[in-house]
Chains A and B, each alone.
Chain A
Amino acid sequence: MSTPTTSAPPPGTQDPPPAKTPPHRTRSPARTGWRRALRRDWQLYSLAVLPLLFFLVFRYLPMIGNVIAFRRFEPGGSILGEHWVGLRYVEMFLTDPTFWQVFRNTLWLGGLTLVFCFPIPIVLALLLNEVRRRALKRFVQSVSYLPHFLSIVIVAGITLQMLATDGPVNHMLGWFGHEPVRFIQEPDWFRTIYVGSEIWQTAGWGTILYLAALTTIDEDLYEAARIDGASRWRQTWHVTLPGIRPTMITLLILNIGTFMAVGFEKILLLYNPLTYPTADVISTYLYRTGVESNSFSYAAAIGLFEAVIGLILITSANQMSRRTVGTSLW
């Protein structure tokens, strides 16, 4: 896709100003290069100061702050902790049975999310792509994007209302003579509820990038496939899907990267002590131990573990896709 280009520049401004063209790839050492760059662009650099300060304080300082996973931390003391305790907190969570339970739950929810929430937008995009009436297509799109714009609190509120004992779902079960199910209190139902509400919220919005990729497929390829006698189905298989493959792979890598960080906020809103056996994940567990019980170092150790796994997952997914299909994020 091309970005909109503006009209041709007015004549006379085509030539670059001579003052701006010192070839800084000459023999001058790096230091002079920097001095020259600073003198020429100091105003630009000055614009970057506040944003860099933001990244330093609110992004990189917390990364360094993870050292409290290996140091004793006193609330109210230094944010980098008091003294080294080595791997004590790591050992603590590795021997904590609750940790392994939330670890399993994380893998379950992450896996189910990947299995359902990744392919459904692709299918939906392919279906939308076959709609011939433009107004209908646009209407379906607008409606399906809507849940994406709502606060997660509203999504959770709606989910709980729908599943309440007097809610529509139980009402429908009543038609089949089924007793009302207390969905919210049942651990067995949590995964279904979570994945279902996730699909409801994200499937429509997820189609956007695929629909964009679909418009870039060359119409001649379909023409050629038709001449070769390919059916509609085979055209989809051999032309459409390969056409959106780069988009699919990019989004798959990103999905794998967020695998461990399963919808923390949504789980926090949907779960309750009764559903902890299936609903409690690493991030909610570390939230409770850290913020609610003030075991900051212990929680930081768990958080660091989660972040490192996330980083490993996304890097290896990226490497694998670069080797096998030649598409990668970086």
Chain B
Amino acid sequence: MVSLPSPRKPRTSVNQPTPGYRVFQGVNGVILTLVVVVTLYPFVNIVARSFSGERQIRAGEVTLWPKGFNLTTYEIVFNDGMFWRNYGNTVFYTVVSTAVAMALTTCYAYVLSKKHLKGRGFLVGVAVFTMFFTGGLIPNYVLITSLGLKNTVWALALPNAISVFNLLVMKAFFESLPDELEEAAQIDGLSTYGILRRIVLPLSKAVVATMVLFYSVSFWNSWFSAFLYMDRTDLMPVTVYLRNLIAGATQGGNAGATTEQLSQTAANIQAVTIVLTSLPILCVYPFVQRYFVSGVMLGAVKG
């Protein structure tokens, strides 16, 4: 294509940017750099605070780098038995809840993916309606309480066992599998359960992995259900431990620490807890991010 520059009809192409477009690219670069800085700065600052001395934090000297470097705060948090107990609870709750959620979601998504199934529209409707109308906080609270699920892992796992969005993503994936494989397996005498376990699931490793990630991150991060349904501190997940620190309901640190030591570090205990709680997510994030993106795309396109 020949493009003749003319003052009246400026023609632009990717290869020949106009001066105006070049200015825009520069401005764009500045804006996006700002976005990166604004997003990352709080993290960097929190990490710096977690290693800093109390006096330097109070004076507002900590910005990008620890001032008055020390590990006292980490020691205090590491020595707090309740912190580790709650951390362990988070791991346990996440594993159990994700397992339950995967079992139910996979089964239902597989059923919904069968286009010939009589009553399929109704089964889809049952799930989709709950996206737009829910019972609300109070009836749920009353229900969980009267079912006697309080202070058990089931209060966290069961009410969140199926996320309709995840269900639709999985259904879309199962629908994209070729029917012929399953038909062949059926002729070979496999039952529906056998087909699901031996044919469909091995072909769906990618979507299963994505769903496990979706669920486990959301269970790891959740706090409100536990806050609502767990009465004892030793049953709390670490997110509620952090919440209680933020709300000033607890001081953190172990009981053995001197009051002086406690008051000296009260502020950066929060920073340390924030760092330690988000650490697992931050560690796996770079590797799993693309699964999340592809999962959301699949759900958005098909759902």
B199 within 8 Å of A (CB atoms)? no
Q: Is the CB of B217 within 8 A of A149?
A: yes
Report the stretch among B6-14, B77-85, B257-265 that lies at the interface: B6-14
B68 within 8 Å of A (CB atoms)? no
Query: Taking A44-B111, A156-B246 as contacts, is the C-beta distance between A58 and B158 under 8 angstroms?
Result: yes
Q: Is the CB of B32 within 8 A of A170?
A: no
B201 within 8 Å of A (CB atoms)? no
Bound form: Cα–Cα A150–B275 in Å? 11
Q: Is the CB of A51 within 8 A of B136?
A: no
B232 within 8 Å of A (CB atoms)? no
Q: Is the CB of A65 within 8 A of B142?
A: yes
Q: How many B residues have CB within 8 A of the partner chain?
A: 111
Query: Taking A50-B107, A62-B139, A269-B243 as contacts, is the C-beta distance between A3 and B176 under 8 angstroms?
Result: yes
Interface residues of A in 107-156 (CB under 8 A from B): 124, 127-128, 130-132, 136, 139-140, 142-147, 149-154, 156
Bound form: Cα–Cα A151–B271 in Å? 14
Q: Is the CB of A68 within 8 A of B224?
A: no
Residues on B with beta carbons closer than 8 Å to the beta carbon of A168: 41-42, 45, 60, 63
Q: Is the CB of B139 within 8 A of A65?
A: yes
A-B contact number at CB 8 A: 298
A59 within 8 Å of B (CB atoms)? yes
A229 within 8 Å of B (CB atoms)? yes
Q: Is the CB of A286 within 8 A of B137?
A: yes
Bound form: Cα–Cα A164–B242 in Å? 17
Q: Is the CB of B123 within 8 A of A200?
A: no
CB distance from B180 to the nearest CB of A (A): 4
CB distance from B93 to the nearest CB of A (A): 13
Q: Is the CB of B123 within 8 A of A61?
A: no
User: Among the interface residues A47, A51, A58, which one has the most CB atoms of the partner chain B within 10 A?
Assistant: A51
Query: Taking A17-B187, A304-B136 as contacts, is the C-beta distance between A154 and B161 under 8 angstroms?
Result: no
Bound form: Cα–Cα A10–B141 in Å? 53
Interface of B is mostly: helix
Which residue of the partner chain B has the closest CB to A33?
A: B118
Q: Is the CB of B137 within 8 A of A287?
A: yes
A72 within 8 Å of B (CB atoms)? no
Q: Is the CB of A154 within 8 A of B117?
A: no
Option from B46, B60, B192 in Cβ contact (under 8 Å) with A158? B46
Q: Is the CB of B111 within 8 A of A150?
A: no
Besides A43-B192, A63-B139, 15 new A-B residue pairs in contact (Cβ under 8 A), listed by A number? A9-B178, A13-B184, A17-B186, A17-B187, A47-B192, A58-B140, A151-B222, A151-B277, A161-B49, A209-B296, A212-B297, A212-B300, A265-B224, A269-B247, A307-B133
7 closest cross-chain pairs (CB), A and B: A62-B135, A65-B139, A151-B221, A43-B192, A9-B180, A51-B108, A37-B118
28 examples of A-B residue contacts, CB within 8 angstroms? A5-B178, A6-B177, A10-B184, A34-B118, A37-B118, A43-B192, A45-B111, A47-B108, A50-B104, A54-B162, A62-B139, A63-B135, A66-B136, A76-B146, A79-B146, A127-B28, A128-B32, A144-B35, A149-B285, A151-B239, A151-B278, A157-B246, A166-B60, A204-B35, A265-B224, A291-B137, A291-B228, A303-B138
